[in-house]
Amino acid sequence: MNGALKSLASSVGGAVLAIAETIGGAVTLLFRILRALFPPRYDAEGVWRSFYNVGVKSYPIVVMTALFVGAIMVIQTAFYVKKTGATGIIGYGVGFSVFAEIGPILIGLMFSGRVGANNTAELGTMVVTEQVDALRALAIDPLPYLVVPRFLAMLGMLTLLMVLGDLFAIVGAALTAQLLVGFHWRVLVADLLQSRLLDEFTMGLVKAACFGISISCISCYFGLAVRGGATGVGRAVNNSVVSNATAIFVIDFVVGYLYSL
């Protein structure tokens, strides 16, 4: 009994320590990135390359996720609309959840699974194959060279992709409304546009920007902290994905709460 309690306490303690270490590491990295941004000292060509890589890697899944998010929300909302007869709510219902909640969360999660995990693996591999040391040996600071471009690319790209995602979510919603629910797509889109969802739209973008920051910092942190060969890389990718998902939920909650004030 006592032993079980002790081991429970030590594993809880260990988990708390691990969380604190991750937050500490990622936040420290964020400050170092910000310091490298003002005044700018980073590899401009690398920034473009990162934007391109991140964009190419992630836009297909963002588009696909968005189409489904729109479709699902129409089906869900239509259920209540049919039940209550409140047809005026369908545009708002779809728009609100797509722009402000489900859209950002799902797109953020997909982005983190695709780009964040990939980034941790890439940097981790560079660490274990001594490529990062090779940069340092050539007097190149890995932070402005490797991390800052990824940070800017993830921040910028995820925000842009959220706009794209919102558009495709509307497309998905309109198609589903027309084809499956028996609701004219024009009515849905007109209703949606009239619902004055600007706040929800900007909230989604703010969330996306925050996700971009957290995904880049967390994934770079885990990538650069890799120890111990290929298994170390695997472990880091795993930790990175889990931490990113957690961070996404926390940020979503905090931003949502702040908007509700």
Partner 1 sequence: MSGDAVIVCKGVGKRYGRKWIVRDIDLEVRAGELLGLIGPGGHGKSVLLRLLAGLATPDEGEVRVRGKNLADIDPFELAELRREYGYLFQNYALFDFMSVADNVAFPLRQAGGVEEPEIARRVKERLEQLGLGEALDRFPSELSGGMKKRVGMARATIGEPAIVLYDDPSAGLDPVTSSKIFRLVRTMHHSQDDVASVVVSHDIDRMKVICDRYVMIFEGKVLFDGPEEAIEGADPMVGKFFFGSLGQSSGAS
State in angstroms the smallest separation of the CB of 197 from partner 1: 41
Q: Running DSSP on this structure, what letter comes out for residue 138?
A: T
Token pair recorded at residue 82: 């049919």
Distance CA 194, CA 207 (A): 23
Smallest distance from the beta carbon of 136 to partner 1, in angstroms? 6
State the nearest-atom distance from the C-beta of 73 to partner 1, in Å. Answer: 40
15 phi and psi angles, rounded to 5 deg: -65, -45
* Contact between residue 217 and residue 183 where contact means Cβ atoms under 8 Å apart: no
Single-letter code of the amino acid located at 205: L
Cβ distance to partner 1 smaller for residue 35 or 186: 35
Instruction: Pick between residue 21 and residue 133 the one whose CB is nearest to partner 1.
Output: 133
Nearer to partner 1, 41 or 184 (CB): 41
Least Cβ distance, residue 137 to partner 1 (angstroms) = 4
End-to-end alpha-carbon separation of the chain, Å?
Answer: 46
Binding site for partner 1 (CB under 8 A): 125, 129-131, 133-134, 136-141
126 versus 247: smaller Cβ distance to partner 1: 126
Burial 57-82 (b: 16+ CB within 10 A, else e): ebbebbbebbbebbbbbbeebbeebe
Spatial distance between the Cα atoms of 244 and 240, rounded to a whole number of angstroms: 6
CB of 101 to partner 1, least distance (A): 37
Question: Would you say 4 or 138 has its CB closer to partner 1?
Answer: 138
